[in-house]
A and B are shown apart, each in its own frame.
Chain A
Amino acid sequence: MSLAAAVILVVLSWLWVIGEDRARGVVLISAQSAEHVGQFIEDLLGIGSPSPPAYLRPDRWAAMAGLAAETLGMSVLAAGLAGAGALALGVFAARTVAFGPLRPSRSPLWPMAFFVTRGAFIVSRALPELLWALLLLFLFTPGTLPGALALGLHNLGVVGKLGAEVVEDLNLRPIQALQRSGARPGQLLAYGIVPSMLPQLLTYLLYRWEVIIRSTIVVGFVGAGGLGQEFRLRMSFFHYTDVTLILLVYLLLVFGVDLVSAGLRRLAR
């Protein structure tokens, strides 16, 4: 059933894509498009241009450092905001807290908080970073902050859901021991639940950071600054050797974050 639906979807999608491609007269596989790609690669490398390509000029590399730092800062801020939000809200989204053995009181507020936080996680996760960025520009002036918030909001849903699952899978014994010895809900949270969910949440957050750094360049497209904004600028001025330089810096940043995140994850274990 699912397989048949998937096959039909694939066929219909490709029919639409190919039809639209024909209508626009691009036609993917042709001698002409091969020539265009060749030309584009030559432009990126700066072949046939009289001035030296930007990616070989030390002064251009130095100029990139500030933008790279800004992009890195934006990604760290986004990950931090998502992590803080998930830590604060994830507990309420756990079934064991809302309905199960960890429920602190009979108050109907706990199930209500469950549905509100779960709903918020679904919405925040469903909307991609760029749509969040677009909506946040109602409230903020374009810059690093709305970019980081947009990245953070999308990731809040992703990390928050995981946080809730971590709480649901917690070993209940030590927490119930605290409960029985008369700990109040706040103390239960501070000494029982949060410390036990922290290592897993941090590990996952570090994984997400690797995803976030890749998307950080993209929120720059809507004016959030950093490498992304520079990329958009250089693309629209056809400064293709600068584009190559930005891509190289971006790759360094992405691989660097992968390495650092792997190292930090070892500390979290």
Chain B
Amino acid sequence: MTGLRSSRSILTILLLAAFGWSLTSVDWREGVLNVQGTPALLEFLAAAVRPVLTPAFLGRAVAALWQTVAYAVAGMTVALLIGAVLGTLASGALAHRRVARFGEVVGARATLGLLRAIHELVWAWLFIAALGLSPITGVLALGVAYGGILGLIFAQHLADAPTAPLRALQAAGARPWQAFLYGRLPLVLPDLVSYALYRFECALRAAAVFSFVGLGGLGAELQLSLRELNYGEVWTLLFLLIALIVAVDWWSGEVRRRMTT
């Protein structure tokens, strides 16, 4: 108990010290408040109660929202593909010879770690520089970054799956891929689907800001409205995004509930 308590107090001190240090990374001398922005801020906040709901703008907003959804959905399909293939390899569930397994696991894990380490918008920018401005670059960026995360999570779940049913299958003469398909996968599938749905929600948020690297979608409309100082339009777009995220959150909750009961 005393050991536990002392390690916690060490942690508390470390974290408080880190936070204190982080305050020094802000340049306080130059003044952090943007005084000229205050009237604009008040105007912006006042516009919250009167979002622009004209048919013309709503049409534009919904089209932008659809683009964002399309990016996220297409990106998630790429991510699931990468995650499933590399995740399976990284779990070491398929290889039967020890040397082959070691190579597979280390190689797949390193690849996944690298894919995941770089943020999707950084990937997007790199892809755009290499390939040009097209939705496909955004889709690839999402697919690569999220494929890395999904793959690592998939591998972890597959490796942690209970082994008793597996051994039964193997004893009955199942090949590794059969044992994988009928023994391991069904056990972890609900968790994997649930995590993928959570990631889809994140993908929507990520796709909403693809405009910062020059791609279209909700963020592009939002930046345009902000530049034209049309705050009512900004609020319409913000409300739409929040509604979308809440709807997807609700949907994934429903799916999760139906899978576990």
Contact = CB atoms under 8 A, between A and B. Distances in A.
B245 A217 contact: no
A65 interface: no
Interface string B105-147: 0000000011001110110011001111111110110000000
Given A26-B136, A77-B22, A264 B121 contact: no
B166 to A, nearest CB: 27
A141 B33 contact: yes
Contacts of B242: 122-123, 126-127
A36 B130 contact: yes
A127 B226 CA distance: 16
B32 A218 contact: no
B119 A218 contact: yes
B147 to A, nearest CB: 15
A241 to B, nearest CB: 13
B136 A36 contact: no
B26 A218 contact: no
A13 B134 contact: no
Nearest to B134: A26
B69 A9 contact: yes
B132 to A, nearest CB: 5
A144 B27 contact: yes
Interface stretch (A14-22, A45-53, A105-113, A168-176): A14-22
Interface stretch (A56-64, A93-101, A128-136, A186-194): A128-136
B-side interface size class: 35 or more
B206 interface: yes
B10 interface: yes
Interface stretch (B70-78, B89-97, B177-185): B70-78
A233 interface: no
Contacts of B61: none
B155 to A, nearest CB: 16
A127 B241 contact: yes
Interface stretch (B13-21, B52-60, B156-164, B168-176): B13-21
Contacts of A214: 117-119
Contacts of A16: 66-67, 70, 135
Contact of B25 (A18, A69, A221): A69
Contact of B73 (A9, A21, A69, A215): A9
B32 A140 contact: yes
Contacts of A17: 70-71, 74, 135-136, 139
B136 A21 contact: yes
B214 to A, nearest CB: 11
Interface string B215-243: 00001001100100000000000100110
Nearest to A143: B27
A251 B8 contact: no
A28 B136 contact: yes
A230 to B, nearest CB: 12
A231 B122 contact: yes
B121 to A, nearest CB: 5
Contact of A141 (B31, B44, B238): B31
Contact of A24 (B21, B40, B134, B212): B134
A126 B34 contact: no
Interface in A176-222: 199, 202, 214-215, 217-218, 221-222
A181 B219 CA distance: 54
A96 B73 CA distance: 37
A138 B26 contact: no
Contacts of A20: 134-135
Contacts of B22: 73-74, 76-77, 80, 148
A40 B135 contact: no
Nearest to A265: B11
B118 A24 contact: no
B70 A73 contact: no
B135 A128 contact: no
Contacts of A14: 74, 77
Interface in A114-163: 122-123, 125-131, 134-135, 137-141, 143-146, 148
A144 B25 CA distance: 7
Contacts of B209: 128-131
Contacts of B135: 16-17, 20-21
A12 interface: yes
Contacts of A134: 222-223, 226
Nearest 3 pairs between A and B by C-beta?
A73-B25, A26-B134, A76-B22
26 contacts: A2-B251, A12-B70, A13-B70, A16-B67, A17-B139, A26-B131, A26-B133, A28-B136, A37-B130, A39-B130, A77-B22, A126-B246, A127-B238, A128-B206, A128-B209, A131-B222, A131-B238, A134-B223, A137-B37, A140-B34, A145-B26, A202-B15, A250-B122, A251-B114, A267-B7, A268-B8
